[in-house]
Amino acid sequence: MALIRATCSDCGDVELRSRDIQVRICRDNGNGSYLFRCPVCRMTEVKSADDQIVDILVAAGVRCSEWQLPAELLERPGGEAITHDDVLDFHELLNSEHWYAELESLQG
């Protein structure tokens, strides 16, 4: 198993085994990243990785997985934007005793 040096933002350079790292590639845009848990502070670090870094890590035995951007990023909501007054009205509604009944009456 290969030893790989990575940098923790708090602890500096740390040595990891290939099983301690995971490469992730986005199916939608091809962007690569890798993540690991620092063996010193135990914080999870996520770093972006270009194709060359991805290839080196995978060749060293690091497991690779694909992920997809959430569909919500492509949604464009209709209707008016929520205003400060809308938030205040909702807050007041939640403070009332009948908020649930009023909320149910809004559903079509």
Per-domain residue ranges of the chain: 3-72, 73-106
Provide the whole-model pTM.
0.68
- pLDDT at 24 exceeding the cut of 70: yes
pLDDT at 108: 58
Determine the Cα–Cα distance for residues 40 and 97; give it in Å rounded to an integer.
51
**66 beta partners:** 25
Residue 7 has pLDDT above 70, yes or no: yes
Biggest CA pair distance of the chain: 62
Mapping DSSP to helix (H, G, I), strand (E, B) and coil, where does residue 88 land?
A: helix
Mean pLDDT of the chain, nearest integer: 93
pLDDT tens sequence across 41-85: 999 999 999 999 999 999 999 999 999 999 998 888 888 899 999
